A and B are shown apart, each in its own frame.
Chain A
Amino acid sequence: MVWIGTIINGVLLGGLYGLFGVGLALVFGVTRIVNIMHGEFIALSAFIALAISALFPSAHPLFLILPVVVISFALGYALQAVFVNRSMRLPDPMAPLLLTFGLSVIVRNLMIEGFGVNPRSIHQGDFGQLSIDVFGVQIGVLPLVTLALAVVLFIALQLVLRRTEIGRIVRATADNSEVVRLMGVRPSSVYNIVMGLSFALAGVAGLMLALRTTFTPFSGVERLLISFEVVVMGGLGSFWGAMLGGIALGVAQLVGLRLNPNSGFLYANLVFFAFVMLRPNGLFGARQ
């Protein structure tokens, strides 16, 4: 029974990890940028959520999603429009990567200056501690909501990309940014929207992280590695792969911690290694 509980909680934790990765996968799939800023944005969203929750202390924590998503989208859009697009005109694929690297250092240290390095948390009712009993297994409501939210967002993202006009434009731009110009699409505008969406997804992930645990300006770096692993396991640019990768890591981490409480993220990292050795292009990857 203990093990079943561990695995279920691992799957739920995986929902959060999938959420970490999906924004990164989206940006990579469309723009081919490895966005180093992603982790910093998860942490920044947590602080934005904290600031908003201080303004509305009685609101249900899940109502924070809307303002966090809007602010994150705007920030992502603006950063892409002001900085990243400029570096994408260059022929060198390293330039945007290093640009986001520089921006991430700036964002992290501004957070340190602005919010300090002490762990913070959002206390809003007892929502974070609620749990339900399913056949003797304690399941947290928040992790359950996180996984459900992740699945809903994944489906919504898929639908938008597959069925809508803007989705078709985004996919066409991802396939060939030169040819879409002929159809009257400006790739940089598409990239702005995609980066905004990616940051909005990171925003949701950051909020869920903030409701779940304490966070510091350094939380982003730790989550960046998880985000990367999730995306690589899924196959760069694949959303469902990212989700499954996240679940694999979540389960491996919790099972590992039960085997050795000191092991931290070791077992999840080992699972990652075993996985990429077997599937060097990720679960759904093969695109070059």
Chain B
Amino acid sequence: MKRLPAPVLTLIIFVTLAAAAPWLVGDGGVGLLFEVLLMLAMAQLWNLLAGYTGLVSMGLQCFVGLGGYTTIFAANSLSISPYWVLPLAPLVCGLVAAVSAIFLFRLRDAYFSISTWVFSEVAAMLVFITPGFGHVTGMTLETAREIDYETFLLVNFWIAAGLAAGIIVGIYGLLHSSLGLGMLSVRDNEIAAASIGVDVWRNRFIAYVAAAAGCGLAGGISFMAALFVNVTTGFDLNWVVAMIFIVIIGGIGTLEGPIIGTIIYYGIRELLTNVFALSGSWYLIALGAVAVTTMLVAPRGIWPFVRDQFGIEWLSISRKLPATAGDGSPNPKASISTHQPSRTRRA
């Protein structure tokens, strides 16, 4: 019997566990996993931008906040269940990202990173001063009264699980397509990519709009579940800080990295705040220490370090050359690596 490929096996295990989660971990566990899965989805999207297209955004929290506001505002205005208006969140965020990209893409590297952060601050302030969005107090989901809270939590959890799985499968599929190959080539060498006919701007545009829409949906789900959104929580810089942390610790430019990073991020949090009952700042200090250590010991992140040490593969996206005749095993040296290469320092 032929063994299932690791990615398919992973997906089957994930779906099974997610379906059984309410009976396995109880209500508290579901609440935690809901948060974990949404963060995993967002970290994967940040990784799609930074790890695969070279766009280091510090402003994705903008779309988390916009997604939350869109969902709650639309549900309140139409007096309907938030589930019906959830698709509006990625739509609005994708649109905002598409328009802003026209301007932001004029800027390079550090200029782009800073400007996305400034863009988020501007968006937050505009939401803050526009009448009808609740100013300081924020907005509460008014249809919340009609909701049976227990099923609401469960359904939200499954939506979050679906989003996380969908985004990972989507990125995996994307990176196996010619569009994804184009993205990788842009990241590795923009000029060389452009010279062989890769449309650099278009590749980045698609990735940026997709990441914004995904973060918008995650934000919509997150604040729908919270039944409340305001500017401070919605447009919080800590959203993108957490994404960066997770991707960097786990391994940028790999699909496995954000998964490992998310486990470490929440593992440390739960261990220090719940098991050892330390204050929130100690867990952040521990996370900072993990980041510093990772950068000094394994600067490409934990997953690439483990992968290279033990030669294991999981959700690898590298393409193997077909085995040559008479040689049963594919030569590992002959594989075209699409892992992130060590980049050369800019002169």
Contact = CB atoms under 8 A, between A and B. Distances in A.
Interface string A189-219: 0000000000000000000000000000000
Given A87-B299, A93-B343, A105-B287, A280 B117 contact: no
Given A101-B244, A221-B237, A228 B114 contact: yes
A148 interface: no
Contacts of A262: 128-129
Contacts of B241: 105
A105 B342 contact: no
B344 interface: yes
Contacts of A87: 295-296, 299
A266 B113 CA distance: 18
Nearest to A91: B342
B118 A103 contact: no
B291 A105 contact: yes
Where chain B touches its partner, the secondary structure class is helix
B118 A109 contact: no
A99 B295 contact: yes
Interface stretch (A59-67, A120-128, A136-144, A270-278): A270-278
Given A266-B122, A280-B106, A106 B342 contact: no
A102 B129 contact: no
B121 interface: yes
B300 A92 contact: yes
Contact of B121 (A96, A112, A260, A269): A269
Contact of A92 (B113, B281, B342): B342
Interface in A1-57: 28, 32, 34
B345 A93 contact: yes
Q: Which of A98, A103, A225, A232 has the most CB of B within 10 A?
A: A98
B309 to A, nearest CB: 17
Q: Which of B108, B128, B248, B281 has the most CB of A within 10 A?
A: B281
B289 interface: yes
Given A102-B291, A273-B115, A90 B125 contact: no
A108 B217 CA distance: 31
Interface in A239-288: 260, 262-266, 269-270, 272-273, 276-277, 280-282
Interface string B296-326: 1001100000000000000000000000000
A263 B295 contact: no
Interface in A58-93: 83, 86-87, 90-93
B295 A95 contact: yes
A40 to B, nearest CB: 11
A32 B346 contact: yes
B252 interface: yes
A91 to B, nearest CB: 5
A113 B343 CA distance: 38
A118 B294 CA distance: 32
Contacts of B285: 105-106, 109-110, 113
Contacts of B126: 266
B14 interface: no
A236 interface: yes
B276 interface: no
28 contacts: A32-B346, A87-B295, A90-B342, A94-B248, A94-B252, A94-B343, A98-B244, A99-B292, A99-B296, A102-B290, A102-B292, A106-B292, A113-B281, A221-B237, A225-B114, A229-B114, A229-B118, A232-B111, A263-B125, A264-B128, A266-B125, A269-B121, A272-B118, A273-B119, A273-B122, A276-B106, A276-B111, A280-B107
Interface of A: 28, 32, 34, 83, 86-87, 90-96, 98-99, 101-106, 108-110, 112-113, 221, 225, 228-229, 232, 236, 260, 262-266, 269-270, 272-273, 276-277, 280-282
7 nearest CB pairs, A to B: A102-B291, A105-B288, A106-B288, A109-B281, A102-B292, A266-B125, A99-B295
